[in-house]
Amino acid sequence: MDARAAFEEEGLVPEIWSNGAGFVYGRHSHPFHKVLYCTEGSIVFHTPDGDHALEPGDRLDLPPETPHSATVGPDGVTCLEARRD
């Protein structure tokens, strides 16, 4: 199943985003459940539970208020992301 179909099956509407190689997201959190799929490249999310490396086809669910940061891989990254309130 592709990422868009997975979102649709869950009734979620994804947005697409991407960043270049080596981009770093500082530590932050969200007040909502975040669902994302990596579609191109790679990214590592750093959470209190450890690191989560995503490559194309991988999914990550972040519960509300989960502190996280992220580091984009050497070829950049593109992800589809939706929020579940």
pTM of the shown model: 0.92
In single-letter form, the type of residue at position 85 comes to D
Tens of pLDDT, residues 33-52: 999 999 999 999 999 999 99
Residues linked to residue 36 through DSSP beta bridges, in sequence order: 60, 81
pLDDT one-digit tens code per residue, 3-32? 899 999 999 999 999 999 999 999 999 999
Provide the residue ranges of all domains of the chain, joining segments of one domain with +: 3-84
**Alpha helices (H) in 3-85, listed in sequence order:** 3-9
Q: Write phi, then psi, for 22 (nearest 5 degrees).
A: 80, 0
pLDDT, residue 2, reads 86
Domain spanning 3-84 has what CATH number?
A: 2.60.120.10
Which residues touch 17 (CB under 8 Å, ≥6 apart)? 78, 79, 81
